[in-house]
Amino acid sequence: MLRSENPSRPTSMEELLSSDLIARISQLDVSSKKIFAGKLKGERRSKKRGESVEFADHRPYSTGDDLRHIDWNIYARLDHFFMKLFMEEEDLSLHIVIDASASSDCGTPNKFLYMQQVAMAMGYIGLVNLNRVAVTAVGMRDEDLVVGGEKSIAGTIRDLRGRRRTHDLSRFICALEPERETDFTAAAKRIAMTRRGKGVMIVLSDFFMKEGYETGLRLLVGRGYDVFAIQVLSPQEVEPDIAGDLMLRDIEDGDQAEVTISAPLLKKYKQNLAAYCNGLREYCARREITALTVQTDTPIDTLLLDYMRKRGLLR
Amino acid sequence: MIWATPTLALIAAAIAVPALIILYFLKLRRQTKEVSTTLLWKKAIQDLQANAPFQKLRKNLLLFLQLIILGLILVGLAQPRSSTASIGGQKLVILIDRSASMRSVDGTESLGSKTRLEQAKAEAILLVESMRAPGLFDSEDSSDEAMVIAFDTNAEIFTTMTADQTTLLNAINAIEQTDAPSSLNEAFRLAQAQRPNRYVNDAGADGTEDPIELEGIKGGDTFIFHLFSDGQIPDAEVVRADNEDDFPTFEYHAMGTANAVNIGLVALRAERDYNNPRKLSIYVGVQSTDSINRRVDAELLIDGAPTSVRSIELPAAVPDPITNKAEPTTAGVVFELEEPNGVMAIVRLDTSAATNPQADLFDTDNKGTLIIPPAKQASVALVTTGSLYLQSAFASLPLSELSVMSPSEYESARNDRAMGAFDLVVFDDYLPEPSDDGSRLDPGRYLVLGQALDGPLGVEDLGTGPGTQLINWRRTHPVLRGLTLDGLVLAETHNFAIPEDSGVVSLAESTKGPAIFETSSADVRAICVPFDIGKSNWPFDVSFVIFLGSVVDYLGTQATITVDQSERQLVPGQVLSDRLPNDATNIRIQLPRGESSDPVIPSADGSIVFGPVRHSGIYEVKWAGQPGATDVVDDGRVSRFFAANMLDTDESNIQTLPQIVLANRTVGADAGGKLKRTKDWWPWLLAAALTILMLEWWIYNRKMYI
């Protein structure tokens, strides 16, 4: 919960992903509840009947259809034109949104580092499965870091594809610095406007947003993206270890709260936290967003191999 | 509840409580911590404040605890004490009855083998220990003070008003049992005398106010009397206790039990037969408070040897239907014996009952002693020139010898030193010639009639005067007791003047001055009737013979017939006084318990005073020198015996009274003789404060702050 003192920042991919973890996640693939259309022919089956070699179905011919796909054998037997429909394999957009505000730079283990590691692992899985990977860091910055000018985006990298772009991804992620506040609504609006195609969007954040996360998530869930909201909390946020008469200062906006820690207050805080997390989950459930709350002391491989697979994000 | 130092506590509270609260009003110096978000915390605080009905107090549990601690300390600072009376600076008068009945050993379990006096002392010590000592920050004025007075017949201040408990405890412990009867009045007056006189401001003629002290009207603080007694005080009803509405000024702590049984001597008297003085009768009166018929043995010991045992039947004491208090019954027995010699008679009661150890709780009155002088009839020498009525009057008196002699025969016998054989010499109209030092009388006892005795012992003779009557005489003097001299007419008076500072006492006065006088020195005692009896109507009056008889008794035998009225019989509480021969030296008195008194210094005429005597029993006055007629000489030391007997019906009735009837009200014994004690609460309050302080420390360390 407290701001981390001198947090260690990863400088290379090896610090984000251990080789052991790489070995374990290499066979995973990003899954989606639906098969999305992709821009490139990828490894993903599309719902669209396409041009792959895998037969899917027949349908009666209608005017304007590509004559190349008429099943002449059926025509010979039934004297009717039937089109051969094939499973089309499409690539998947994997868009990772990472909260790079100052509030992420808290807790032990550090929340932002954890988010970086998750983002790197997911990005790696996406890259090795030839998905189109994009990462957007959300956070207020002074200068416009994205084309089109949006101060609520702290950085973005997009259209990465293939294993060789792994280092580009890790470089981008390692370069991120958590600072200042977020404008999640504005950032989500920007992301929704600029993303292309359809796919899976993973939002990594603590979702402690004073202006509310609802509008932002609603914007993100539009346009057919399959959104996963992963709420990352530090163990200290779940079980506060502070005591005494304190002046709590919000790391983002400097807001101050005078508290004298007491058992009833701690109890109330935990009730509020549970209610907040439940509220997030319920909101997500209504919007068909898969929500997941994870503490930073949860091992990454447990998160990836267990939690995410159970929720259908990976397979 | 008494507050020893309430003002101090209030001042401290006025300073400390606001100070503590102000400390909490001050902004807490909070440690700043940066957190990921204050969102949840603010919400939690808001929720908590909204849900807490006493959120101010809950918010400051530590303040709450500290206020409790401070409050306890402040209340402790006021030194609260629980007690019934809530006034400060009481002045207690502890009256402890040390009379004979307090020697009773009541057999109840709670009393054990203690006498009533010991129990009274123990309870008085409890009372003293419960007195309010000066508070830590207190002035002396607000502490209790007490004075200890022990009383029997006499009252004695053991300590004057003091707040010093050690002095009081020492005084109480110094009180000793006596065998005297009890009398409250003197003790009460003695206590009241310690109060200062009341002053009033009197505006004088010039307008200045002068405080005037009112003699006899007492001011100052009210005294609160605590009487430790068994209630058998005959004169309690003359005592007036102060009336105060809000607190009792007289408390009675009853010692002993209401149905205590005692059998004891209440009367003891010896008489010699008038005509046959050898015959001695000893009357014994016994009182019983037992509720059953009792039979006791009375044993008579003459000079230590058992002589006779008589049984006495005592009827049961009948409870009074109104007061339900057993009225003591009495019975008597008479011992008769032939005893011409002076003896010491002891009467002893055997009251033991084999089946009942509580048959007699008080044994002091089970023994009585009589010092019986020898049977004696006076031998009288009548020196006369021939007075027939004197001869016939003396002849009618029971005398061992009456020798009528003329003045010349007297002178010759005097020269032969033969007059010492006579107990009394009567000079009728004759006086011997003065010796070289001017005295006319040899050592002895004399009745001088018709002559004014002059010389060193006598008066200044002024000659005769006209006739008159007697107008006043000492009705209490042994020789004039019971006489009526109103009808006495003197045809001629003999005037004389009594020198100042002489040992002459006028016994009767006529209109012209003294008419009869008594003179005495260490070895001479004489009664002088200077007027001529022949020229009066006295010889024809019966009072004349009675007068002569009284003179023979008074001067001749030195003992009245009734023994118990003699000066050798005492009651504890009385003063032992006697006159010893002039040459008596090294005078000491052996007390009943065997110890010897300090040397007693006699006055110029041989008088000694000792006492008051405290205990019943035999007092033996010993000296070196000339013995008196009845004295015992042993190994060069002369002994004279005195007997002190209690013989008091009130003291022998040892039933504890449940209430004392004073002049203006009746005071009941406090419940069960228990004392209301004050108790200091401040140590408990401080202990509670310490406990809460530890609780607070524990809470602080459990991180349970609000």
Q: What is the CATH number of the domain that holds B170?
A: 3.40.50.410
Residues B304 and B216 in one domain: no
pLDDT for the residue A77: 92
- pLDDT at site B96: 92
Mean of all residue pLDDT scores within chain B: 81
- Could you tell me if residue B649 is inside a domain? no
Domain identity same for B488 and B594: no
Task: Return phi, psi of residue B143, to 5°.
Answer: -90, 155
Which of B449, B453, B443, B404 has the alpha carbon at shortest distance from B420? B443
| A140-177 tens-digit pLDDT | 777 665 555 667 777 888 778 778 888 888 888 888 88
Whether residue B627 is contained in a domain is answered as yes
**What is the residue type of B574?**
Q
Mean pLDDT of B459-473: 86
Residue B305 falls within a domain, yes or no?
yes
Residues of A in contact with B29 (CB under 8 A): 245
Interface with A, mutate which of B27, B31, B34, B700 (most A CBs under 10 A): B34
Greater confidence (B49 vs B159) lies with B159
What is the pLDDT at residue B171? 93
- Contact between chains at A210 and B28 (C-beta distance less than 8 A): no
CATH of the domain at B574: 2.60.40
* Residue whose token pair is 């208090």: B325
Contacts of A276 in chain B (CB under 8 A): 39-40
Check: CB of residue A119 under 8 Å from CB of residue A177: no
More confident residue, B152 or B701: B152
Question: Residue B664 has which token pair?
Answer: 């203006």
What confidence score (pLDDT) does residue B86 get? 40
Instruction: Check whether residue B393 and residue B511 sit in a common domain.
Output: yes
pLDDT for A27-74, tens place per residue?
A: 777 776 655 444 444 455 555 555 555 566 788 888 888 888 888 888
Question: Tokens 């054998």, residue?
Answer: A73
Whether residue B442 lies inside any domain: the answer is yes
CB contact under 8 A, B33 and A249: yes
pLDDT of B591 > 60? The answer is yes
The CA distance from B601 to A138, in Å, is 124
Supply B10's token pair.
């209030």
Mean pLDDT of B71-94: 73
* Whole-number Å distance between alpha carbons of A99 and A216: 13
Find, in chain A, the residue whose alpha carbon is nearest to that of B43: A272
CB contact under 8 A, B33 and A276: no
Measured between beta carbons, which residues in chain B are less than 8 angstroms from residue A2? 33-36
Q: Which of B106, B35, B102, B17 is nearest to B357 (CA)?
A: B106
Predicted local distance difference test score (pLDDT) of residue A76: 92
pLDDT at A53: 55
Query: Which residue did the predictor score with more confidence, B223 or B346?
Result: B346
Report the number of secondary-structure helices (H) and strands (E) in chain B: 12, 38
Question: Does residue B474 register a pLDDT over 80?
Answer: yes
Look at residues A132, A126, A45, A47 and name the one whose alpha carbon lies nearest to residue A89: A45
Residue B673 has pLDDT above 50, yes or no: no
Q: What is the pLDDT of residues B643-670, one digit of tens each?
A: 888 888 888 888 888 888 888 888 887 7
- Alpha-carbon A50 to chain mean position: 28
pLDDT at position B56 over 80: no
> Range of B289's domain?
267-375
Write down the pLDDT at residue B426: 92
Q: Do A120 and A126 contact (CB within 8 A), yes or no?
A: no
Q: What percent of chain B has pLDDT over 90?
A: 6
Q: Residue B146, Cβ neighbours under 10 Å: how many?
A: 27
Question: Is pLDDT above 90 for B79?
Answer: no
Cα–Cα distance measured from residue B367 to residue B349, given in angstroms and rounded to the nearest whole number: 6
Whether omega for the bond prior to residue A109 falls within 30 degrees of 0, making it cis, is yes
Regarding whether B397 and B325 lie in a shared domain, the answer is no
The CATH number given to whatever domain includes residue B444 is 3.40.50.880
Q: What is the pLDDT of residue A38?
A: 44
B84-102 pLDDT, tens per residue?
444 456 788 899 999 888 8
Q: Are residues B97 and B245 in the same domain?
A: yes
Mark yes or no for CB contact A251/B40 under 8 Å: no
Q: Which residues contact B417 (CB under 8 A, 6 or more apart)?
A: none
Contact at CB, B32 and A261, closer than 8 angstroms: no
Q: Which two tokens stand for residue A160?
A: 């990465």
Same domain, B244 and B319: no
Mean pLDDT of B304-328: 84
B164-222 pLDDT tens trace = 889 999 999 999 998 888 888 888 888 888 887 777 776 666 666 677 777 667 777 77
Distance of CA B436 to CAs A87, A103, B179, B452, Å? 181, 141, 52, 19
DSSP state of A246: E
Rounded to the nearest 5°, which phi and psi values hold at B521? -130, -165
- The predicted pLDDT at position B602 comes to 86
What per-residue confidence (pLDDT) applies to B672?
40
Q: How confident is the model at residue B564 (pLDDT cuts 50, 70, 90)?
A: very low
Contact, A274 vs A259, CB < 8 A?
A: no
Which tokens in the block code for residue B319?
């409870």
Separation CA A123–CA A294 (nearest Å): 18
Same domain (yes/no): B238, B132: yes
Q: Pick the residue from chain A with its C-alpha nearest to B36.
A: A103
* Residue whose token pair is 């027939």: B388
Among A143-147, B298-302, B346-350, the range scoring the smallest mean pLDDT is A143-147
Could you list the beta-strand ranges (E) of B55-185. 80-82, 91-97, 145-151, 155-162
Whether B233 and B272 map to the same domain: the answer is no
DSSP assignment letter at B669: B
Residue B560: what pLDDT? 41
Shared domain check, B358 and B345: yes
Tell if the CB–CB gap between B36 and A206 is shorter than 8 Å.
Answer: yes
Q: Span B462-479, mean pLDDT? A: 87
Q: What is the ipTM of this complex?
A: 0.76
Q: Which of B37, B45, B703 sits opposite A208 (nearest CB)?
A: B37
The answer to whether residues B289 and B198 belong to one domain is: no
Distance CA B706, CA A119 (A): 42
- Say which residue the tokens 């090294």 belong to: B586
Task: Give the minimum alpha-carbon distance from B685 to chain A in angstroms, rounded to a whole number.
Answer: 29
In order of their start, the domains of chain A are 13-35+91-310 (3.40.50.410), 46-89 (no CATH)
Chain B residue closest to A277 (CA)? B40
Pair B383, B368 in one domain: no
Residue pair B588/B609 in contact by the 8 Å Cβ criterion: no
**C-alpha to C-alpha distance for B439 and B558, rounded to whole angstroms:** 23
Alpha-carbon A2 to chain mean position: 25
Report which DSSP code applies to B433: P
What string of pLDDT tens digits covers the 315 residues of chain A?
666 666 777 777 777 788 888 888 877 777 766 554 444 444 555 555 555 555 667 888 888 888 888 888 889 999 888 888 765 555 678 888 888 888 888 888 888 888 888 888 888 888 887 778 888 888 877 766 555 566 777 788 877 877 888 888 888 888 888 888 888 888 888 888 777 777 888 888 888 888 888 888 888 876 667 888 888 888 888 888 887 778 888 888 888 887 878 777 888 888 888 998 998 888 888 888 888 888 888 888 888 788 878 877 777
Q: For residue A233, what are the β-bridge partners?
A: A295
Has residue B650 been placed in a domain?
no
CB A100, CB A177: distance < 8 Å: yes
**Total Cβ atoms within 10 A of residue B172:** 24
Q: Is B701 on the interface with A (CB under 8 A)?
A: no
Cβ distance A91 to A127 under 8 Å? no
How many structural domains are present in chain B?
5
Given B308, B342, B375, which residue is the final one in a domain?
B375
Chain A interface with B: residues with Cβ < 8 Å: 1-3, 103-104, 106-107, 111, 206, 208, 210, 234, 237, 242-252, 255-265, 268-269, 271-273, 276
Look at residue B376 and tell me whether its pLDDT is greater than 60. yes
Q: Is B706 a domain residue?
A: no
**Is the CB of residue B32 less than 8 Å away from at least one CB of chain A?**
yes
* Segment B114-157, tens digit of pLDDT: 888 888 898 888 888 877 766 555 555 567 888 999 998 889 99
Does any domain span residue B34? no
Tokens encoding B91: 């002045």
Residue B71 CB neighbours (<10 A) = 17
**For residue B110, which amino acid is it?**
S
Q: Do A265 and B59 touch (CB under 8 A)?
A: no
Q: How far apart are CA A123 and CA A137, in angstroms?
A: 13
Domain end, chosen from B375, B390, B414, is at B375
Strand locations in B257-293 (E): 263-272, 279-288
CA–CA distance, A298 with A307 (Å, rounded to integer): 10
Residue B45 counted as domain residue: no
Is the pLDDT score of B160 beyond 60? yes
pLDDT at B432: 87
Better-predicted residue by pLDDT, B566 or B371? B371
Domain match, B234 and B108 both: yes
**Tokens, residue B210:** 């002068």
